[in-house]
């Protein structure tokens, strides 16, 4: 049945899946961190990812700063934007029903996307590949940049996980997530930590945006559809589970890639199908502890 | 009595409106009034934020359109069938998601609606990117010709009035009271021996079916159904309408839908500004006017009543209790 499938196609799609998975993993990790600590579903995540790519593009075209400086500067710029947003928009809403926080982030996403589209139109802007070329592995051609994306995202995810699970800061963070009042009683500034956490999650989104710029075109709508897939990833992985989010992200990227090989028609829905099945079989998520249902 | 008078005035205005305003705009507003009512039933009265309501709206538009194109079913039955199909979809999705609450429910319904969107994108009967064109308006009850926009306006008006009436009855029934109780204190409802999940599921199905009727109407008004109707910006728009009108207020959706549709109409020539202005309105409502248009108006009226009571006789104890529910 599958004779027509060459190893070229198969490995190519697996690699493509891994690359998509890298973005899913980084984005869903940021979402899970924000959700875990602040109970905010960050609907601006897609727009912040797009902003990351856009800032990189602006830096290149107006300041002449290339990809490598952008990889550091763009996430910082967007993180500052995120922290301002947290401080002046999300914090006042924090004690209300969580739905208002969600809708506020959605509103910001609409505004950001609308403004960028107004300024730059909806067609994509090209961004040059900083590492051209590639290596022929015999069974397939591997572009260096794609390899870099996969490696870099894995390193980022592991580093984030280490930061949260194995440092004092991470311990505070997890504690503040469980019992904010008690952590505050120990003299830790929980609101400030929330601002920083939000900034960190947003920065991760922007970082993925910069990584994505040379692969996909920089366009205003690059984030919104991706974000919904990432939501599904977070639901499958278990809300607020940081490891779950990252692992599920890679896994589903590959699943999606394989679906493109064997049954292309279903490629755009396979992640959602996965979500439906996992909602039925494991309602708490693949990696969630029982209490988070 | 003044309430009856008010109803009579509204009815007269609605009957006369197409002679003064563009009937398609009026019909669009009515479709979205029904859509926003269905949404308010869910979010305002049950406390469930569905971020994928467009799947019912857009899905029903396709079902209604398909039935009208391929069969000789009368228009009102086709719209009803669209609503029924949306209700079935709502039952399926509700069954899978009802255990999740609050923001998780929002995320999951959004993901579901995106799934449905992709299904529509690829399904052969929807016409994919091109949409479903040239949907006929089959004769009403199989006999009355409704192809002109003016006559069709009254059909839409009748369906809308019926839907708003059903919505009013649901909200003011004992079941509606239970819904509000689930919204405000679910464990308490459970402790009284009721099953909140089932109660919410029923609300979800009613809401989905009503959104479906709205979608079916829209397909017959414009005589086409497109992917846009099922896309997530529409889900966002109906949230905005409901919130702007006033969550959990009876007449809020009417005002919210009218304001947003007129605004979209007005801003249609300004490209991206429609999106930006929607975002800004969203933010302003969330930060400053969480009670929405109707809710703030009611609060202002209570404030005036309290003030005049204070200036007239001494303290009026009735004012305090009237204030209890925002």
The domains located in chain A, with CATH, are 7-292 (1.10.3470)
CA distances from B46 to B104, B157, B178 (A): 15, 27, 9
User: B269 versus B295: which is more confidently predicted?
Assistant: B295
Task: Give mean pLDDT, residues B289-311.
Answer: 84
**What is the domain extent for residue B303?**
299-326
Q: How far apart are CA B20 and CA A198, in angstroms?
A: 51
Q: Confidence class of residue B325 from pLDDT cuts 50, 70 and 90?
A: very low
B170, B306: one domain? no
Please report the pLDDT score of residue A3 as a whole number: 55
Residue of A nearest to B96 (CA): A280
CB of B278 within 8 Å of any CB in chain A?
Answer: yes
- Buried b / exposed e along B235-264 (16+ C-beta atoms within 10 A): bbbbbbbbbbbbbbbbbbbbbbbbbbbeee
Residue B10 maps to a domain? no
Residue B51 maps to a domain? yes
Please report the pLDDT score of residue A200 as a whole number: 92
B246, B279: one domain? yes
CB of B232 within 8 Å of any CB in chain A?
Answer: yes
**C-beta separation of A267 from A275 below 8 A:** no
Nearest-CB residue to B115 (from A102, A110, A269): A269
Q: Confidence class of residue B313 from pLDDT cuts 50, 70 and 90?
A: low
Predicted complex ipTM: 0.83
pTM: 0.86
DSSP 3-state percent helix, strand, coil across chain B (nearest 5): 80, 0, 20
Residue of A nearest to B100 (CA): A293
Q: Confidence class of residue A290 from pLDDT cuts 50, 70 and 90?
A: very low
Residue B264 maps to a domain? yes
Flag whether pLDDT at A291 surpasses 50: no
Contacts of A111 in chain B (CB under 8 A): 275-276, 279-280, 283
Contacts of A229 in chain B (CB under 8 A): 114
**C-beta separation of B294 from B254 below 8 A:** no
Q: pLDDT by residue (tens digit) across A123-152?
A: 888 888 888 888 887 777 788 888 899 999
Residue of B nearest to A122 (CA): B272
Burial of B320 (0-12, 13-18, 19+ CB in 10 A): exposed
Contact B114 A272 (CB under 8 A): yes
CB of A106 within 8 Å of any CB in chain B?
Answer: yes
Contacts of A280 in chain B (CB under 8 A): 96
Q: How far apart are CA B119 and CA B112, in angstroms?
A: 11
Residue B6 maps to a domain? no
B181, B230: one domain? yes
Q: Confidence class of residue B321 from pLDDT cuts 50, 70 and 90?
A: very low
Q: pLDDT by residue (tens digit) across A230-280?
A: 888 888 887 778 888 888 899 889 988 888 888 877 888 888 888 888 877
Q: pLDDT by residue (tens digit) across A64-119?
A: 888 898 889 999 999 999 999 999 988 888 888 888 888 899 999 999 988 988 88
Contacts of A232 in chain B (CB under 8 A): 111, 114
B183, B245: one domain? yes
B160, B48: one domain? yes
Residue B170 maps to a domain? yes
B277, B311: one domain? no
B209, B247: one domain? yes
Helix (H) or strand (E) holding A134: strand A134-136
B152, B279: one domain? yes
Residue B4 maps to a domain? no
DSSP-assigned beta bridge partners for residue A134: A143
CA distances from A124 to A74, A214, A218, B29, B232 (A): 18, 11, 5, 34, 21
Contacts of A293 in chain B (CB under 8 A): 99-100
Handedness of CA A210, A216, A220, A221 (dihedral sign): negative
Q: Of A14, A1, A9, A42, nearest to A201 (Cα)?
A: A42
Name the B residues in 114-173 with CB < 8 Å from any A CB: 114-115, 118-119, 121-122
Distance of CA B30 to the CA centre of its chain: 9
- Work out how many domains chain B is built from and give that number: 2
B282, B303: one domain? no
- How many residues are given for chain B? 326
Nearest-CB residue to A107 (from B106, B115, B286): B286
Please report the pLDDT score of residue B312 as a whole number: 65
Among A277-291, B27-41, B287-301, which is the least confidently predicted range? A277-291
Q: pLDDT by residue (tens digit) across A83-97?
A: 999 999 888 888 888
B184, B126: one domain? yes
DSSP-assigned beta bridge partners for residue B132: B225
- How many contacts does A have with B, using Cβ atoms within 8 A? 114
B182, B56: one domain? yes
Q: Confidence class of residue A288 from pLDDT cuts 50, 70 and 90?
A: low
Residue to mutate among B281, B283, B286, B287, with most A CBs inside 10 A, is: B286
Other beta carbons within 10 angstroms of residue B16's beta carbon come to 10
């Amino acid at each position: 049945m599958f004779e027509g499938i060459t190893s070229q196609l198969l490995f190519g799609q697996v690699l493509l899946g891994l690359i998509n998975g890298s973005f899913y993993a980084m984005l869903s990790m940021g979402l899970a961190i924000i959700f875990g600590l602040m109970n905010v579903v960050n609907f601006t995540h897609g727009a912040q990812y797009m902003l990351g790519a856009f800032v990189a593009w602006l830096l290149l075209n107006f300041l002449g700063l290339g990809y490598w400086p952008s990889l550091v500067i763009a996430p910082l710029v967007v993180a500052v934007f995120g922290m301002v947003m947290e401080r002046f928009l999300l914090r006042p809403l924090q004690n209300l029903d969580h739905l208002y926080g969600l809708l506020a982030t959605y509103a910001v996403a609409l505004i950001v996307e609308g403004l960028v589209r107004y300024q730059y139109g909806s067609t994509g802007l090209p961004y040059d590949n900083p590492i051209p070329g590639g290596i022929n592995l015999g069974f397939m051609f591997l572009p260096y940049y794609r390899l870099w994306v996969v490696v870099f995202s894995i390193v980022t995810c592991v580093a984030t996980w280490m930061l949260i699970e194995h440092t004092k800061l991470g311990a505070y963070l997890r504690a503040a997530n469980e019992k904010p009042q008690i952590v505050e009683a120990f003299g830790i500034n929980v609101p400030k930590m929330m601002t920083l956490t939000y900034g960190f999650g947003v920065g991760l989104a922007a970082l993925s945006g910069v990584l994505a710029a040379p692969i996909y075109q920089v366009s205003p709508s690059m984030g919104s559809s991706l974000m919904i897939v990432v939501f599904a990833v977070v639901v499958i992985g278990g809300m607020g589970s940081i490891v779950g989010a990252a692992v599920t992200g890679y896994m589903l990227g590959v699943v999606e890639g394989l679906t493109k090989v064997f049954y292309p028609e279903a490629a755009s829905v396979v992640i959602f199908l996965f979500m439906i099945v996992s909602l039925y079989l494991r309602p708490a998520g693949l990696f969630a502890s029982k209490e988070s249902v | 009595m003044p309430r009856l008078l008010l109803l009579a005035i509204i009815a007269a205005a609605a009957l006369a409106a197409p002679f003064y305003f563009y009937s398609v705009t009026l019909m669009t507003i009515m479709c979205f009034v029904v859509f926003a009512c269905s949404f308010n039933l869910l979010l305002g009265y049950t406390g469930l934020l569905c971020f994928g309501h467009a799947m019912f709206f857009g899905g029903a538009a396709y079902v209604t359109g398909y039935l009208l194109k391929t069969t000789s079913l009368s228009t009102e039955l086709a719209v009803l069938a669209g609503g029924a199909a949306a209700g079935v979809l709502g039952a399926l999705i509700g069954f899978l998601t009802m255990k999740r609450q609050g923001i998780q429910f929002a995320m999951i319904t959004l993901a579901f609606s995106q799934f449905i969107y992709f299904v529509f994108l690829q399904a052969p009967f929807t016409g994919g990117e091109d949409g479903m064109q040239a949907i006929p308006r089959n004769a009403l009850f199989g006999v009355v010709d409704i192809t002109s926009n003016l006559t069709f306006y009254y059909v839409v008006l009748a369906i809308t009035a019926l839907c708003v009436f059903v919505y009013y009855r649901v909200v003011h029934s004992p079941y509606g009271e239970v819904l509000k109780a689930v919204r405000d204190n679910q464990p308490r409802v459970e402790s009284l021996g009721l099953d909140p999940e089932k109660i919410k599921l029923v609300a979800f199905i009613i809401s989905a079916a009503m959104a479906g009727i709205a979608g079916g109407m829209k397909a017959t008004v414009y005589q086409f159904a497109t992917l846009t109707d099922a896309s997530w910006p529409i889900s966002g728009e109906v949230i905005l309408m409901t919130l702007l009108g006033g969550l959990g207020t009876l007449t809020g959706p009417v005002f919210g839908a009218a304001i947003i549709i007129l605004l979209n109409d007005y801003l249609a020539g300004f490209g991206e500004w429609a999106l930006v202005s929607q975002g800004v309105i969203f933010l302003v409502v969330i930060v400053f006017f969480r009670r929405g248009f109707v809710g703030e108006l009611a609060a202002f009226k209570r404030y005036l009543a309290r003030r005049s009571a204070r200036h007239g006789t001494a303290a009026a104890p009735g004012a305090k209790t009237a204030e209890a529910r925002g």
